Structure 1
Amino acid sequence: MKDINIQGIPIVVSKGNPYELGWQHGCAVPDKIKEEVELMLTLCEKNAGLGRNECLSIAGRFVPTIEKYNPDYLTEIQGIAEGAGLSFEEIIFLNARTEMLKLGNGTDRKDSISLKESGCTSIAVTGEVTKDGHTYVGQTWDNLHACLNTMIAHLVIPDSGTPSFFYVGEAGIISRMGMNSAGIGIGVNSLSTNGPVNFEGVPLQFVIRGVMDSANLAQAIESVTRMPNGAVNNIMIAYKDSEAVDVEIDHDNCECLYPVNSIITHTNHYEHPNRPHYPYYCIYTGSSIVRGGRSNKLMRLKMKEKGYLTTCDIKEVFTDHGNYPYSICVHCPNPEKELKFQHQTDCAFVCDLNDLTMDVAIGNPCKSGFIRISPFEDLV
């Protein structure tokens, strides 16, 4: 299976020490990494008025914090850069792209590319209510149509003793949403407030990597909470031992949400009553409210109807078109825009954290359908 794609996106396998992991990643998909860097630079220019040199300089302010969080991650970034034929600064910028794009929050530039429609719907279900007693986690990833061209499926096998992990996401990123071989899986949702980016905090992609390097749920939670974060975001973490927790990240702290009757869903707005804290307030769209409430309702209706849940139930929710086109399965709601800057569901996945399988759909899952992969068996 090493030489085939997943519904058209390339599979990358990286093994070894931090530099080797990065080098193999960069060498495998250099064109996709370069395209993703240029796309993010374009968005920063249009939305925040920042030129290329400004973007690289500003993103570089995160380096001391990343080094404190885990210096091996900077070594891996250097490997990605050299493997792809890019600069260290460009790959740092790419891995701080979440925070860099939030610098444009609240601006109203004439040629800006609105990211408000970009969102994700995350769902976790623990073993008390699943037919096979397994724990599941998954999400839709809603982003620009252009990101379909830069996606990869990536299996990372470190020689450091940390778990292997598998994710689907943009090329050149040190880690994205998926699962690890210890039975940890995550979904990620962007959040927005009127607050500042914290350049003394850890950028989201490195926090995600910290979770993926964790051997159990306690370590995973501490990977999110042990240092300040670079910007507001949400990480849903599930674990094979019938556990799940959702961590809402604020500017200087975090709060946790727990499943209600073994089901939890999350979209792109805060749900904990203590976050965000004054003087900051949550900025969200009606789509997030609808997707959050609807995904929760649909999962509970399925549970009430059958008395148990399966991965098929989550996959069905991820294809839902209620409130179309601003639905859980998003369909380019702004056709007047250039296609690459329209928003849609770019992928969806559901992980079984006990069997360590992932059901993946590239693009709108209602069209592409899901395929199952066992990455720690099929790709090794």
Structure 2
Amino acid sequence: MTIEPFPFIELSGTPEARGRAYGRAAKARVHRSLAHYGAQLSGQGMDASKVHAMARAFVPRIEAFEPSFVPEMRGIAEGADCAFEDIVMMNCRTEVLKLAQKAEAAAKADRAQPDGCTGAVLLPEATADGTLIHGQNWDWKKECAETGVVLRIRRDDGPDVLTFVEAGGLARAGMNAAGIAITANYLESDRDYRQDGVPLSLLRRKALEQEHVALAVRTIYATPKSASNNLMVSHASGYGVDIECAPDESFLLHPEGGVLVHSNHWLSPAALSKLKDTGIANTPDTVYRDRRVRAALVAKRGRLTMNDLREALFDDWGTPYSVCRPPRPNFSGNLSATVAMILMKPAEGVMEIAPLPALNRTFTTYTLRDAPVRAAAE
């Protein structure tokens, strides 16, 4: 089975110019993304005019958060030959999917198809070469293996950014030239969708635009959100933190013995004393995924390499409800999978990604400096 690597797109210039170049380069994948989510929203009773109206309602909120994101999205729409509202929808897709109906009905509809993930940060004290390693399995819809792209964004007003994202989006997982790296995991609580907030994907892009890790943490910790989410932030110098975010409050988790692992359930004692975890029913494997990855890593603490994290994330115990998930129907009948395994060394500006890793062990190495290179995992 041949699985193509995620396309690499380099961008520079003004936000609008970057957007146009991005849209042109990823046009086919953008339209594939739009068709996929458009069909899902149509199944929830939302035609294009309703989706566009919902997307337009996010624009003032986005402009207030970061004005440059709007012209960048307009540029993507122009380059990809689609409506501006479609690109806004792609950058707010978590919120739009859940708000497509009334809050209670939307949450019920999407809980059966959660955005999973297992992530880890290894501090220098735990690694063989004293270099921080940050990685993740992104669990979502199998179709997204055909819509992902990798962007290298050359910026004149801040550090360059390297990010993996669904085509049309501004960022998902990634790192920047200042040594900051970010991944995200699905979380759910009884506080979700009671307030308006900044779309989660744009929080990640804003954090990756920061020169200082303190400002990246502030962006994630303090910005109001509509839904819960877990974000892992690291810095090449040897810092890592996990931020469990409710819409109106954030909770911190720190590495133990240089190892930090998170899946899709709340771990902070403070969080669990104040809110209800409503996601485990539909991601029951989360209760052992993090423990299995942590155990594999702790066993080699002080000697850990990128390959050790790779093998921990390839774990197939309990398959298909495993750390590395092969394509399988989820509780709503959608085909779910580990769409991508992403491994990063922020100090070296290196990111390795394998699409559908349960079926494919060929990684492509993307960097903040050089052209991509493909290689099979050992």
2:350 counterpart of 1:357: yes
Counterpart in 2 of 1:57? 53
What is the distance in 1 between the residues matched to 2:348 and 2:208? 17
Counterpart in 2 of 1:372? 365
For residues 188 and 112 of structure 1, do their structure 2 counterparts lie closer, same or farther at Cα, with a shift above 3 Å needed? closer
2:41 counterpart of 1:44: yes
What is the distance in 2 between the residues matched to 1:212 and 1:81? 22
Per-residue Cα deviation, 1:252-299 (whole angstroms, up to 9, x for no partner): 121111111111011111111232675654322211112122111211
What is the distance in 1 between the residues matched to 2:275 and 2:330? 36
What is the distance in 2 between the residues matched to 1:224 and 1:109? 23
TM-score between both structures, scaled by the size of structure 2: 0.89
Q: How far off is 1:198 after superposition?
A: 5.5
Counterpart in 2 of 1:207? 203
Per-residue Cα deviation, 1:149-175 (whole angstroms, up to 9, x for no partner): 111121111222x11111222110011
Counterpart in 1 of 2:145? 148
What is the distance in 1 between the residues matched to 2:253 and 2:341? 22
Counterpart in 2 of 1:218? 214
Determine helix, strand or coil for the equivalent of 2:153.
strand
Determine helix, strand or coil for the equivalent of 2:327.
coil
Residue 128 of structure 2 is aligned with which of 126, 131, 136?
131
For residues 369 and 320 of structure 1, do their structure 2 counterparts lie closer, same or farther at Cα, with a shift above 3 Å needed? farther
Counterpart in 1 of 2:285? 287
For residues 49 and 194 of structure 1, do their structure 2 counterparts lie closer, same or farther at Cα, with a shift above 3 Å needed? farther
Q: Which amino acid aligns with 1:140?
A: N
Q: How far off is 1:366 after superposition?
A: 5.8
Counterpart in 1 of 2:238? 242
For residues 17 and 112 of structure 1, do their structure 2 counterparts lie closer, same or farther at Cα, with a shift above 3 Å needed? closer
2:182 counterpart of 1:189: no
TM-score between both structures, scaled by the size of structure 1: 0.89
> Which stretch shows the higher mean deviation, 55-64 or 366-375?
366-375
2:270 counterpart of 1:274: yes
Q: Which amino acid aligns with 1:165?
A: V
Residue 24 of structure 2 is aligned with which of 23, 27, 34?
27
Percent identity, aligned pairs only, is 28
Q: How far off is 1:212 after superposition?
A: 0.8
What is the distance in 1 between the residues matched to 2:22 and 2:342? 22
Counterpart in 2 of 1:314? 309
- Say whether the 8 Å CA contact 1:18–1:158 is kept in structure 2: no
Q: How does 1:153-164 map to 2 (within 5 A)?
A: 153-160=150-157, 162-164=158-160
Q: How far off is 1:114 after superposition?
A: 3.5
Q: Which amino acid aligns with 2:19?
A: G
For residues 92 and 337 of structure 1, do their structure 2 counterparts lie closer, same or farther at Cα, with a shift above 3 Å needed? closer
For residues 354 and 183 of structure 1, do their structure 2 counterparts lie closer, same or farther at Cα, with a shift above 3 Å needed? same
Q: Which amino acid aligns with 1:235?
A: L
- Say whether the 8 Å CA contact 2:162–2:176 is kept in structure 1: yes
For residues 57 and 128 of structure 1, do their structure 2 counterparts lie closer, same or farther at Cα, with a shift above 3 Å needed? same
Q: How many matched pairs?
A: 366
2:20 counterpart of 1:16: no
Residue 98 of structure 1 is aligned with which of 94, 97, 107?
94
Residue 320 of structure 2 is aligned with which of 298, 312, 325?
325
What is the distance in 1 between the residues matched to 2:30 and 2:327? 24
Counterpart in 1 of 2:376? none
- Say whether the 8 Å CA contact 1:198–1:229 is kept in structure 2: no
- Say whether the 8 Å CA contact 1:157–1:164 is kept in structure 2: yes
- Say whether the 8 Å CA contact 1:23–1:82 is kept in structure 2: yes
Q: How far off is 1:29 after superposition?
A: 1.2
Per-residue Cα deviation, 1:287-329 (whole angstroms, up to 9, x for no partner): 11121221112111232xxx42111110001111011111111
Counterpart in 2 of 1:3? none
What is the distance in 2 between the residues matched to 1:108 and 1:16? 39
Find runs of 4+ consecutive structure 1 residues off by over 6 angstroms: 108-113, 335-338
- Say whether the 8 Å CA contact 1:344–1:364 is kept in structure 2: no
- Say whether the 8 Å CA contact 1:334–1:342 is kept in structure 2: yes
For residues 325 and 113 of structure 1, do their structure 2 counterparts lie closer, same or farther at Cα, with a shift above 3 Å needed? same
For residues 237 and 98 of structure 1, do their structure 2 counterparts lie closer, same or farther at Cα, with a shift above 3 Å needed? same
Any gaps of 5 or more consecutive residues in structure 1? Answer: 1-5
Per-residue Cα deviation, 1:65-114 (whole angstroms, up to 9, x for no partner): 21111100111111111111111111111100011223378649999893
For residues 74 and 111 of structure 1, do their structure 2 counterparts lie closer, same or farther at Cα, with a shift above 3 Å needed? closer
Q: Which amino acid aligns with 1:262?
A: G
What is the distance in 1 between the residues matched to 2:107 and 2:246? 26
> Which stretch shows the higher mean deviation, 23-32 or 370-379?
370-379
Q: How far off is 1:61 after superposition?
A: 2.1
Any gaps of 5 or more consecutive residues in structure 2? Answer: 373-378
